[in-house]
Amino acid sequence: MSSVLLAMQTTLLNDMRPFGVMAHVMVLFAASAGVVYGSEIGALAGLIIGLMYDSVLTTPLGLASLVLGATAYIAGVFPYLVRDSSWWSKIIAVAMASAIGEILFPVAQAMVGYSGWVQWRVLTVALVVGVVNLVFAPVMLLLTKWTLKETLVG
């Protein structure tokens, strides 16, 4: 599943850039894992997904892994903030976690010395990614339940 999503990320989503921003399906997957299965399993899934994503990026290996792990962990916290989480609150949680994850990328890059990406543009990127992931979150939540059921959850 991660390989297929990564392939979509490097091909289709890399070409289609609404408002000049690339939609981020890897962040969406990590956030969905966090929302569906909680912080711990989410973080595990995020770290593994991130390692795969790292392999096609030019940033230092391991950076996206930490970012996606943190994103999924944060996403896993959101359901605890509402009393009875419904389907739409999960979707909003995925979108918010995605936006936060997108902000974490340049912050993490700055922490290892690549400080040039901390710009106001980050907010635009986070907003666009958040909105796009809000649209695709229902499908991804279903896919996450289906794909992670037999593996990480046990």
Distance, in Å, from the CA atom of 147 to the CA atom of 54, rounded to the nearest integer, reads 21
Distance, in Å, from the CA atom of 116 to the CA atom of 130, rounded to the nearest integer, reads 22
Q: Which is nearer to another protein, 87 or 150 (CB)?
A: 150
CA 147 from chain centre, in angstroms, equals: 16
Rounded least distance, CB 85 to another protein, Å: 20
| Residue among 60, 80, 149, 151 that touches another protein (CB under 8 A) | 60
Interface pattern 101-120 for another protein (x via CB under 8 A): -x--xx--x--xxxxxx-x-
Q: What is the DSSP string of 59-83?
A: SPTTHHHHHHHHHHHHHHHHHHHSS
- List interacting residues with another protein (CB under 8 A): 3-4, 6-16, 20-22, 24, 40-41, 43-44, 47-48, 50-63, 65-66, 69, 102, 105-106, 109, 112-117, 119, 121, 125, 129
